[in-house]
Structure 1
Amino acid sequence: MIGSALLRNLRRNMNGWVTLSVIGAFLALLPSLYILFGLFQKENENWQHIQEYMLVDYALESLWLVLGTGACTIIVGVTLAWLVAAYEFPLRRFFDWAFVLPLAIPPYIAAYTYGSMLSYTGSIQTFLRNTLGWTPDQRYFDIMSMKGAIFIFTLFLFPYVYLITKAFLEKQSAAFIENARLLGKNSFHTFFVIVLPLSQGAIVGGASLVAFEVLNDFGVTKHFGISSFTTAIFKTWFGMYDVDSAIRLAAWLMSFIIGLFVIERLLRKRKKFSSPTNKQNPLKRRKLKGVWKWAAMAFGLLVVSLSFFIPVTQLLVWATWTYEDVWNSGFTELLFNTLSVSLVSIFILMLLAVIVANVIRSARGSTFSLMLTRFISMGYSIPGAVLSIGVLAVVISVDQKLSGVYEWLGFGGGKLVLSMSLFMLIFAYIIRFLAVGYNAVEAGFEKIGNRYTEASRLLGLGMTRTFFKVDFPLIKGAVFTGFVLVFMEIIKELPLTLLLRPYNFETLATKAYQYASDEQIHQASIPSLCIIAVGIVSVFFYHWLGEKQTK
């Protein structure tokens, strides 16, 4: 528990900041509590049917999807991280940032694109038949399956493993790898005996992010006909109109995610290594020679082509076919909807992230700061479909409590005012992505340290004046970074937006999904390219900022 002296200090110096932080943490936690309480509600007939005939299938499909994608992303991501971090070969500097570009393409857009490209009437099979005179076996082009979903997720989620593992290898593992080289160990021995055991914590961290993204997905699994927990929640909610059973499914999925989170923490906790020296020199790269350097370059080009250039090129071609039909006044409204709801959400989110980060910095090391960090970060690890159920339950409950106020204001009794507005969607965005903005601001605070803040406080300035006069000018870059990263996440978010948007309110993500669901894949290219363009800008900014911080 927090000591009485610390509590007195917090109340005396920044009571308003603490109050807002606690309120924000409570609101972030509330939807999760509503979902978990769903496990103790009375079962109805639909749930009994789901539990008896479908629940095991949902669990197994989700489990195989997570395990298959996790294994493949580890293989691809760790291999690429080792090549880029430890060796020099042609185009290495290009691959250093190009391997991050797949994050700009949401997997559901990639699924629509590859599904159409590889179909019988798609560009690849059409080229083979009309140009080469070869009619291929359809089995080799059937991507609408579990294997196809794992293929898509691997290509567009491996950067999570790549980024974390590469950062670890470049900074933390140099001494171990250099010692192995001095002892005459070859590259394969060094990789399997030194690098893999040493990097297990980083690998598990990256793979856990991949698992959370897979469980959050709706577009890929729905398009490929896979009965995952997320698609089951959608079917139960919109197909059976049974919110109670959907809440139960969400609770089961959330319990599964909590289990994954605990396992990930245990694995990372047991895999900690200390450098044999306090001086951390960067890893010295060795030049690949002969066939190996060309093999490394070819492998990198294959991965970048499959995960970025090929799908983007295909979307650009389709965009030239459908530009006149899609780019009209309706699309302008679509852009306005996307930008307006995103900017409002980001402004509130980043304001709360700054407040919470400032409070946690002042109470660093206490139980209070630890709990606050956990509550704030919880939303990002919860799939959008699950979080939307909790948010819906919370907002409907608030509407019911305020029914008397609505009637007094002239809206009429029994109205669901907040539940039918953008408030619910914005509230969900804030909870879901608050951790992204908070992590960016926290990194900014850690970089500047506490010396300027402490000097300002000693001079008699309060917490608020110190922040605006001293702290904020120093962390503006970190706040802007959080703004860009959150903007990218909101723009491409699909499950949350589909479930909580008001009637007849479309964003770029939902419009792309709608086109794809209506078998209008070509028309989905322009909204998809807009989402990808935002992602590319965010990736370039992220890479530029990383390069700037390492100089």
Structure 2
Amino acid sequence: MIRNILEMTRKSDLWPGSGNIKSESGWWNITTILIALLVSIPVLTVAANIFVPSGDVWQHLASTVLPDYIKNSLILMFGVGAGVFILGVGNAWLVTMCRFPGSKYFNWLLILPMAVPAYLMAYTYTDFLAYTGPLQNMIRDLTGWGLGDYYFPDVRSIGGAIIMMSFVFFPYVYLITRAAFMEQSNSLLEASRSLGATPLQSFYKIALPLARPSISAGMALALMETLNDFGTVDYFGVQTFTTGIYRTWFGLGERAAAAQLAAFLMIFILFLILLERTSRNRMSLKQETTGRYKRLSVYQLNGWKAWGSTLFCSLPVLIGFLFPTIILTDMMIANFDVAVDSRFLEFSFNTVLVALIAGFVALAVALVMAYGVRLNPNLLTRTATRIGSMGYAIPGSVIAVGILIPFGWVDNTLDSWMRDTLGLSTGLLLSGTIFALIFAYVVRFLAVAYNTVEASLGKVTPSMDEAAEGMGYSFGKILRKIHMPIMSGSLFAAIMLVIVDVIKELPATIIVRPFNFDTLAVQVYRLASDERLAESSGAALAIILVGLVPVFILSRSIARTRKTEEKE
């Protein structure tokens, strides 16, 4: 494949020395394409293993657990989809178009649940709502009831998983939908008012249809995160594709079958990607722009409607962020000696180490790719970079399988050759190493850095490049001396977003990490799985606090959005 790519490039005007474009531009093009192909290896590996014979294992999976994987994954998708739609769209409309007590604070408070990974929600609420937990203990103390005297729903179920994920993933829908509502034509809303439409009628008949592409895009992102989740469904005992991949790989030792399960999961993901891309293309839908740039005319709510809106907006903040944070803080204070010990410091060091390395590597790769597309915006380069940066849409478990299979093959082939030639064993040089873990993180979160860098790079006027070229600057020097200083704020944001995502990542870390190398996320998962949540509270709280970094970045961005005016 690489040979064909190079041959296509050689025949084009982009090959170094062609005379049409500077030689250095051609090398940037080749480097960009090769890097994009390199980070595409996991996805291509999983796709290539679809038709690899897996013996009777696949037939066993298909006749036993595969129907449950499909059913539970679909139930999760529909359940979480409904939850994030109600919470995301409802809150976006209220915060953008209505005024009620606390409304000016909810525009950024509602993104706080993004700082809490879904698996931490599962662990904390299971402990809080369990039979021996604080809530049921209080109920029994107040009523005098005993075991069997009352019904209490089991949070460790697929319904509980849907609720946990809905309150964590709804900000994906909220942020995109709120932006869509703020960009809508004010004249259309004014026209609906003049025709006697109530706020609810304006929402259903005007705002909602126009925002449908944005809503679909946000829901696609939320559902991708739903399919990527491992900690929540594993802890709740819900069999999905992510838990199936892990158990097939480590429980049965069947790599081919695990890769085929991963490929099956990719079918769901590709459908969601297609939905998101289609929705993004439809965002160019034209609407009457008369008065579009006027400040939005908002509805002033009074009485029960105002306080009902405050309650509706408060619930996601309380359930999705405040309660879990308070519970974990209380646990950490009560069990400080075991929650923050020498092992906590060790896991923190491991986490910060791999996060920093992955962040800087992802940023460097994103810079090369984005600048390569800027220099050579041809179809081949743009397609390669899009494929290379699609890892964020692929679950971490799929990427892990797509990395360990080729890395294992390289290790085994090299070890066999060294044994036959020199009588020495090289062992595992790639798989089961920090290098493999860093590579998994870069593949998984490259899109986060790439999209940020690409957007910032696009704001730099081409005339700067032309002036620098006229002064004899090379393309690399232009990037270092001109673009990077201008983009410094965006580069910092990109690397911080990658670091935060790495710290929270669980599925890829569990599968790819080296032996006896645990991060904060893995430690929380292991202790919570052993019902030792109090000991994991320090690590869990640290993950939440770090997760506030992107929330702070997003809140600053929201603060600069278009202002609205109050109107009765």
TM-score by shorter chain over 0.5: yes
Q: Which residue of 2 aligns with 1:122?
A: 133
C-alpha distance in structure 2 between counterparts of 1:411 and 1:112, whole Å: 50
Query: Matched residue of 1:540: which SS?
Result: helix
C-alpha distance in structure 2 between counterparts of 1:194 and 1:449, whole Å: 37
Q: Tell which deviates more after alignment, 232-241 or 19-28.
A: 19-28
2:104 corresponds to 1:93: yes
1:223-262 matched pairs, under 5 angstroms: 223-262=235-274
* Residues 98-130 of structure 1: per-residue CA shift (max 9 Å, x gap): 100001000001001111111101111112222
1:377-392 matched pairs, under 5 angstroms: 377-392=389-404
C-alpha distance in structure 2 between counterparts of 1:195 and 1:420, whole Å: 51
Q: Which residue of 2 aligns with 1:77?
A: 88
2:323 corresponds to 1:310: yes
C-alpha distance in structure 2 between counterparts of 1:481 and 1:137, whole Å: 53
Among 463, 466, 472, the residue aligned to 1:454: 466
Q: Is the 8 A contact 2:189 2:202 kept in 1?
A: yes
What one-letter code is carried by the residue in structure 1 that aligns with 2:454? E
Give 1:290 shift: 2.3
Q: Is the 8 A contact 2:25 2:376 kept in 1?
A: no
Q: Which residue of 2 aligns with 1:321?
A: 334
User: Relative to structure 1, is the Cα distance of residues 137 and 306 closer, same or farther in structure 2, using a 3 angstrom cutoff?
Assistant: farther
Q: Tell which deviates more after alignment, 162-171 or 21-30.
A: 21-30
* Residues 359-411 of structure 1: per-residue CA shift (max 9 Å, x gap): 122334x3134303321221111101111000101211232444378669999
- Number of equivalent positions: 550
C-alpha distance in structure 1 between counterparts of 2:264 and 2:347, whole Å: 35
C-alpha distance in structure 2 between counterparts of 1:255 and 1:46, whole Å: 20
What one-letter code is carried by the residue in structure 2 that aligns with 1:276? E
* Residues 265-324 of structure 1: per-residue CA shift (max 9 Å, x gap): 345545642132385344232222222111111211222111111111111111112211
Q: Which residue of 1 aligns with 2:524?
A: 512
1:139-538 matched pairs, under 5 angstroms: 139-270=151-282, 272-277=284-289, 280-364=293-377, 366-403=378-415, 412-413=424-425, 415-538=427-550
Q: Is the 8 A contact 1:173 1:198 kept in 2?
A: no
Query: Matched residue of 1:284: which SS?
Result: strand
C-alpha distance in structure 1 between counterparts of 2:540 and 2:268, whole Å: 31
What one-letter code is carried by the residue in structure 2 that aligns with 1:322? N
Query: Matched residue of 1:285: which SS?
Result: strand
C-alpha distance in structure 2 between counterparts of 1:316 and 1:410, whole Å: 57
* Consecutive unaligned residues in structure 2, runs of 5 or more: 1-7, 564-568
C-alpha distance in structure 1 between counterparts of 2:478 and 2:62, whole Å: 56
Query: Matched residue of 2:253: which SS?
Result: coil
C-alpha distance in structure 1 between counterparts of 2:422 and 2:22, whole Å: 40
Identity across aligned pairs (percent)? 37
Q: Tell which deviates more after alignment, 280-289 or 127-136.
A: 127-136
Q: Tell which deviates more after alignment, 401-410 or 485-494.
A: 401-410
What one-letter code is carried by the residue in structure 1 that aligns with 2:313? G
C-alpha distance in structure 1 between counterparts of 2:184 and 2:24, whole Å: 38
C-alpha distance in structure 1 between counterparts of 2:353 and 2:448, whole Å: 20
C-alpha distance in structure 2 between counterparts of 1:346 and 1:175, whole Å: 44
* Residues 434-462 of structure 1: per-residue CA shift (max 9 Å, x gap): 00001111121123332322322233322
Q: Is the 8 A contact 2:29 2:381 kept in 1?
A: no
Q: Is the 8 A contact 2:185 2:288 kept in 1?
A: no
User: Relative to structure 1, is the Cα distance of residues 449 and 56 closer, same or farther in structure 2, using a 3 angstrom cutoff?
Assistant: farther
User: Relative to structure 1, is the Cα distance of residues 265 and 494 closer, same or farther in structure 2, using a 3 angstrom cutoff?
Assistant: same
Q: Tell which deviates more after alignment, 447-456 or 241-250.
A: 447-456
Query: Matched residue of 2:439: which SS?
Result: helix
Give 1:173 shift: 4.3
Q: Is the 8 A contact 1:379 1:433 kept in 2?
A: yes
Query: Matched residue of 1:418: which SS?
Result: coil
User: Relative to structure 1, is the Cα distance of residues 391 and 550 closer, same or farther in structure 2, using a 3 angstrom cutoff?
Assistant: farther
* Residues 188-214 of structure 1: per-residue CA shift (max 9 Å, x gap): 111111111111110010000111101
* Consecutive unaligned residues in structure 1, runs of 5 or more: none
Give 1:546 shift: 4.5
Q: Is the 8 A contact 1:57 1:227 kept in 2?
A: yes
2:56 corresponds to 1:50: no
Give 1:543 shift: 1.6
C-alpha distance in structure 2 between counterparts of 1:281 and 1:393, whole Å: 56
TM-score (norm 2): 0.91
Q: Which residue of 1 aligns with 2:5?
A: none
User: Relative to structure 1, is the Cα distance of residues 441 and 271 closer, same or farther in structure 2, using a 3 angstrom cutoff?
Assistant: closer
What one-letter code is carried by the residue in structure 1 that aligns with 2:58? W
User: Relative to structure 1, is the Cα distance of residues 177 and 550 closer, same or farther in structure 2, using a 3 angstrom cutoff?
Assistant: closer
Give 1:90 shift: 1.4
Q: Is the 8 A contact 1:342 1:490 kept in 2?
A: yes
C-alpha distance in structure 2 between counterparts of 1:360 and 1:368, whole Å: 10
* Residues 5-58 of structure 1: per-residue CA shift (max 9 Å, x gap): 456555624244323322221012111111111111113121111112221221
C-alpha distance in structure 2 between counterparts of 1:352 and 1:549, whole Å: 30
TM-score (norm 1): 0.94
Give 1:507 shift: 0.3
Q: Is the 8 A contact 1:10 1:18 kept in 2?
A: no
Q: Is the 8 A contact 2:25 2:375 kept in 1?
A: no
C-alpha distance in structure 1 between counterparts of 2:428 and 2:137, whole Å: 52
What one-letter code is carried by the residue in structure 2 that aligns with 1:345? A
Give 1:237 shift: 1.2
Q: Tell which deviates more after alignment, 103-112 or 243-252.
A: 243-252
C-alpha distance in structure 2 between counterparts of 1:330 and 1:392, whole Å: 28
User: Relative to structure 1, is the Cα distance of residues 94 and 267 closer, same or farther in structure 2, using a 3 angstrom cutoff?
Assistant: closer
After superposition, the CA RMSD in angstroms is 2.4
Q: Is the 8 A contact 1:73 1:158 kept in 2?
A: yes
Q: Is the 8 A contact 2:358 2:499 kept in 1?
A: no
Query: Matched residue of 2:88: which SS?
Result: helix
